[in-house]
Structure 1
Amino acid sequence: MNSPKDILTSRQLLVILISTVIGVQVFIMPRLVVEAAGRDGWLSLVLGGGWALLAATAAAYLASFFPRQTPVVWFSHLLGKWGGIALSLGFGCFFLFVAAEVLRLFTDMTQTYLLPRTPSEIIMITFLLSIAYVVCHGINPIARVTLIFFLFGIIPSIILIAVFQGKVNFGELVPVLAGGIAPVIRGFLPAYGDFGGWGIIVFLVQFMDTPKEAVKGTAVGMAVIWLFFMATFIITLAAFGPIETQYLLYPVVDLIREMEGVGGFIEKLDLIFLSAWILSVFVTLAVCYYVAVLAISQLAGIKNIAVPVYVGLPLVYLLALLPQGYKAAEGLVGYLNYTSFIFSLSVPLLVFLARRKIKQGGVSDGEQT
């Protein structure tokens, strides 16, 4: 069970979900999807985003069966002791690697655009210590920080994409399916991977004051992310075309640079966008690391997560340094996409088992929403 002070509202869950999933992936998403699917990448995003939305909503529905209970408890209830331990450990390790991947991509982008002379080690350590301070205080401070950063980070980013003013040619999106359905299928996993952060829902619903609202909040949040990624991809492709997009390291940054200043009054929009992005990455890393530490702490029976938070920092740091070059770092993204997809396949099974337990009376009335 969780402390009564650890409470999330449906609005906070919505904001955390949007802020976490958008994160850092949006900057490389158009290139990764175009490399796999070409100009039909938007169809891959339709499929990948749709599957992620279903998986996330189903996960929220599943977690709502067990209000104020940790997934560690109900995983074991559904899968048995060792099955529950394995799945809990899997989620914990997954988000630990996600945190390392986000940290690495953040560091690479920061060195490229903002701090080219600053050693990567300094950037990583400074950012990790800032993250640890917030994570140590639990989900409520994280939720409050996320709301502030959402207002000043995510919303401005969405507005910049929505009001894009630049040279675009939507003819770059046609012909559709010129290469058949195969490219769309190849692009499914990279497209789905952009939504892979949905797994945080499994561990956050336990903090909600009204778990029944988790399903609606999750569905709305994933739909917003889906539309944002679709708009970002389509505008990027229309601005650069499929060939040039493949050779842009961070296509969305180049897209913002193509924007015309608002009435000639606001210039250097890329710097504004990158400043907003830093806030978004802070939230993504904080939430992913919190979920990783939470899963492992609950599995080990540790009530105070402060010690695991600081003990885990060197591991995240070393994992972030492990890939040699940005290509190797993006290779890690591919493995994480596969892992997230496997988790998504497990959700329907867990829902089925939970429903069967309820029918058999294996879940008490207090555990149902």
Structure 2
Amino acid sequence: MVPNDDKISQFQVALIVFLTPIGVGIFTLPSTLAKDVETNGWLSLILGGLVCLLEIYFICCIAKKYSPAKFTDVLKQLFGKFLGTIFAVIIFIYFLIFSALEVRLFAETTKMYLLYKTPLEYIIIPFLFLGIILARCGIEPIARFFEAVIYLVAITFILVFLLYLPKSDYSNLLPVLRIHPLKLLKGVEDSFFSFSGFEVLLLLFPFMRDSKKSFKVSAISIMLITFIYVVIFVQCIARFGVDYTKTLLYPTLSLIKSSDVPGAFIEGIEGLLFSLWIVLIFTTLAMFIFAYSVIAGDLLKQKEAKHIVILFLPAVYIVSLLPDNIASTFELVDKLIKSLGYFVILILPTLMFIVSKIKGERA
């Protein structure tokens, strides 16, 4: 059973669902969508957000039926001990690999823009240790950290929105809805996976004080993420145009650096926002480390998952150094998200929902 002092409120659940998906993808998403659907990326983001809402609905329906059972126990109840264990191992591998790739992308971006001459290892190791320290404390301290940073995140996003709203050429967003349906589906696919991170909700129900309103608060979080993504995409296209946005590695960073804000006290606004982005990456990393430690602890039948976090640290570190460069890292992320990601984020929650309904009717 989960300790009584390691429970989270519905507000904290909303913060976890909101802050976990926003990471490296927020920098690259406008370029990806511009290549796939050009000016219609905003529509793909909205449709991708709706697919996320459907998957969250499936997850919450499953949780209402089986809560407060642990996620691995629910898998075994639905699919049997053998198949349920295999699914749990796949999800463990998913969170472990993406913990590694998240920290590698963070290190590459930090090296590119801030610490030019610093070896990647010296960026990865301290960041990993910080994530492990927070993950070892449990879900309640993680949620409290999320509470501490959310106001800074909200104020910064509002500031950026107000800065760029009057300075953009929105005619760059034309033409609207002139796109082939297959291209739109490709954009929806990319948009959907830009929300990846909400799947940690699968593991949170045993830790909730009250899971009855979990869908409502999670849906609000996904709608807020969708709004933020749409604003960022629209501002990038309005400022740079489609063709130039396609060529940028990090359009969001380029948008920030293109600002011309009067007043010397915020001339280095890109440094301020980059610092905020580091916090956002840290929230994602801490939750992914916590997620794989919970699953591994359940599979190994450990009451405490604290030592599990450290046990798999070498594996996370080694995987983070496997790609040769940032291009190889993005290529590996793309391959994994379209293999493991499809299963964990899209197929498994849908399959669990269907099987739970079938078993419910037979009972």
TM surpasses 0.5: yes
Q: TM-score, normalised by structure 1?
A: 0.92
Q: Distance in 1 between matches of 2:262 and 2:4?
A: 47
Q: TM-score, normalised by structure 2?
A: 0.94
Q: Is structure 2 residue 154 aligned with structure 1 residue 155?
A: yes
Amino acid at match of 1:342: F
> After the TM superposition, which of the residue ranges 161-170 and 305-314 deviates more from structure 2?
161-170
Residue aligning to 1:239: 239
Q: CA deviation at 1:263?
A: 5.9
Q: Distance in 2 between matches of 1:143 and 1:357?
A: 34
Residue aligning to 1:164: 163
Q: CA deviation at 1:342?
A: 2.8
Q: Distance in 2 between matches of 1:136 and 1:265?
A: 38
Residue aligning to 1:332: 332
Q: Distance in 2 between matches of 1:230 and 1:55?
A: 20
Residue aligning to 1:352: 354
Q: Is structure 2 residue 138 aligned with structure 1 residue 142?
A: no
Residue aligning to 2:212: 212
Q: Distance in 2 between matches of 1:151 and 1:23?
A: 17
Amino acid at match of 1:288: F
Q: Distance in 1 between matches of 2:199 and 2:127?
A: 23
Residue aligning to 2:41: 41
Q: Distance in 2 between matches of 1:206 and 1:57?
A: 17
Does the CA-based 8 Å contact 2:37-2:179 persist in structure 1? Answer: no
Indicate how the Cα distance of structure 1 residues 262 and 22 shifts in structure 2: closer, same or farther if over 3 A, else same: farther
Amino acid at match of 1:217: V
> After the TM superposition, which of the residue ranges 260-269 and 249-258 deviates more from structure 2?
260-269
Does the CA-based 8 Å contact 1:261-1:268 persist in structure 2? Answer: no
Gaps of 5+ in 2: none
Residue aligning to 1:227: 227
> After the TM superposition, which of the residue ranges 182-191 and 16-25 deviates more from structure 2?
182-191
Residue aligning to 1:28: 28
Deviation string 1:188-247 (CA, Å, 9 cap, x unpaired) is 222111101111000012210111111111111111111111111111111111111111
Q: CA deviation at 1:350?
A: 1.4
Residue aligning to 1:267: 267
Q: CA deviation at 1:69?
A: 1.3
Indicate how the Cα distance of structure 1 residues 321 and 58 shifts in structure 2: closer, same or farther if over 3 A, else same: same
Gaps of 5+ in 1: 362-369
Deviation string 1:103-130 (CA, Å, 9 cap, x unpaired) is 0111111111121121110110011111
Residue aligning to 2:296: 296
Deviation string 1:55-91 (CA, Å, 9 cap, x unpaired) is 1232123223222211100111011112211221121
Q: Distance in 2 between matches of 1:117 and 1:264?
A: 28
Q: Distance in 2 between matches of 1:128 and 1:118?
A: 16
Amino acid at match of 2:66: F
Q: Distance in 2 between matches of 1:106 and 1:60?
A: 31
Residue aligning to 1:101: 101
Residue aligning to 1:196: 196
Instruction: Please state whether the residue corresponding to 1:224 is helix, strand or coil.
Output: helix
Q: Distance in 1 between matches of 2:112 and 2:350?
A: 42
Q: CA deviation at 1:360?
A: 4.0
Does the CA-based 8 Å contact 1:26-1:252 persist in structure 2? Answer: yes
Q: Distance in 2 between matches of 1:6 and 1:360?
A: 35
Q: Distance in 2 between matches of 1:345 and 1:304?
A: 29
Indicate how the Cα distance of structure 1 residues 211 and 268 shifts in structure 2: closer, same or farther if over 3 A, else same: same
Deviation string 1:7-61 (CA, Å, 9 cap, x unpaired) is 0110001111111111221011111222222222222212222212221232123
Q: Distance in 2 between matches of 1:99 and 1:340?
A: 13
Q: Distance in 1 between matches of 2:178 and 2:219?
A: 32
Amino acid at match of 1:244: Y
Q: Is structure 2 residue 90 aligned with structure 1 residue 65?
A: no
Q: Percent identity?
A: 28
Matched pairs, number: 360
Q: Distance in 1 between matches of 2:332 and 2:169?
A: 33
Does the CA-based 8 Å contact 1:49-1:226 persist in structure 2? Answer: yes
Deviation string 1:142-192 (CA, Å, 9 cap, x unpaired) is 11112112222x223422332133631111221124342232122222211
> After the TM superposition, which of the residue ranges 58-67 and 83-92 deviates more from structure 2?
58-67
Q: CA deviation at 1:345?
A: 2.6
Does the CA-based 8 Å contact 2:97-2:319 persist in structure 1? Answer: yes
Indicate how the Cα distance of structure 1 residues 57 and 310 shifts in structure 2: closer, same or farther if over 3 A, else same: same
Q: Distance in 2 between matches of 1:263 and 1:360?
A: 68
Q: Distance in 2 between matches of 1:99 and 1:291?
A: 10
Residue aligning to 2:279: 279
